[in-house]
Amino acid sequence: MKKMKITVLITLFLIIVDSNKIQSQENKVFLITLDGLRWQELFRGAEWELLQDKNYTQDIERLKNKFWKESDEERRKALFPFIWDKVEKQGVIIGNRDKNSRVNVKNGMHFSYPGYNEIITGKPDDTRINNNNKVGNPNVSLFEFANQDPMFKGKIAIFGGWDVFPFIFNEERSKLPVNAGYRHSLSSNPSFLEKFLDKFQDETPKRWQGVRFDVFTHNYALETIKKEKPRLVFIGYGETDDFAHDGSYNHYLESAHVNDQMIRELWEYVQSDSYYKDQTTFIITTDHGRGTGDHWKDHYFAIPGSSETWLILIGNQVHPPLFDKEQYYNDQIAATIAKILQIDYKPKDVGSALY
């Protein structure tokens, strides 16, 4: 009898170990957006005309010393060292129009709510989503669809700087956890760090009414990733767009530079953790483009360049030789995530996977 009990216990132990091993081998995806970041800065680095214009840049000499270099390659690496070191060597970076590589949104609005809807649902909806109002998204996103699957229930996490994200992901209907705007940690048992972030977010002066600083979004996300190990994560950084609308090119550049550091921190954590290591793909993009010259501050359908975006991918499911087309679209992102995670997400007219 004792021998039988021991055998049963060993069998149960092996089942648990095998289950944990299978879980750790499941693919994971982080979808990361840098709101309104232009392809020009990503591929060319700081722009001279804007960098030295006192209307847009303060502390010009310090910014020049930090970000101005002679070539596009040197400038972009000064601004985005992680992307142009690690990602360029191991991943895919698409959207350099100087080399005839193009990424665009398909929606006709060219601003945020329509852009994020296109990214997370795989199709534009100009009829119903043509403003940034706080109205629940009528479309079912890939994230909401996945949340109905027991394999993903409780394994999805959404973070954003903008307080419209709860409506974009339609948290009321989807039941997705959305930590966005100036919300506190959603954890039922917040850690010391999460309580610290709650306190400091409340005590930090607000520059924008509806968008918090990225440092809070980033650290809420990173702490949840460490504690809860979600398989599907959305992180929407927002400072680049709002500093651009403010006409502050120096803050726009500094925020983009810090976002690169934040993505590096996420990647290095993922590669240090057995649950994520070599099982995780990062897809990084923006929700819209923006104009050039004095129109660099703004974006909508009447401003040329507002539909021009870019895409970055790195991870175990990214195979650079497969990316050989000249034109890609943001509506292909949802299908790509579904393919990586083996989710049967096939709504009508959804964009095809990137590869």
pLDDT in tens, 207-243: 999 999 999 999 999 999 999 999 999 999 999 999 9
Q: Is residue 94 part of a domain?
A: yes
CATH code for the domain in which residue 170 is found: 3.40.720.10
Task: Please report the DSSP string for 115-182 in residue order.
Answer: HHHHHHHSS--TTT--S--S---SSPPHHHHHHTSTTTTT-EEEEESBTTHHHHTTHHHH---EEETT
Per the structure, the count of domains in the chain is 1
CA angle 183, 185, 191 (to 5 degrees): 155
Q: Is residue 8 part of a domain?
A: no
Q: Is residue 11 part of a domain?
A: no
Q: Is residue 105 part of a domain?
A: yes
CA angle 346, 347, 350 (to 5 degrees): 85
Range of the domain at 53: 28-341
Q: Is residue 229 part of a domain?
A: yes
Q: Average of pLDDT values for 282-307?
A: 98
pLDDT digits (tens, 9 = 90+) for 137-146: 999 999 999 9
- The rounded distance, in Å, linking the Cα atoms of 290 and 341 is 32
Q: Is residue 9 part of a domain?
A: no
CA angle 152, 155, 160 (to 5 degrees): 120
pLDDT greater than 50 at residue 18: no
**Predicted structure pTM score:** 0.93
Q: How many CB atoms lie within 10 A of CB 308?
A: 23
3-state secondary structure of 59: coil
Q: Is residue 18 part of a domain?
A: no
Strands (E), the chain: 28-34, 92-94, 102-104, 156-160, 178-180, 232-237, 280-285, 308-309, 311-315, 327-329
Q: Is residue 302 part of a domain?
A: yes
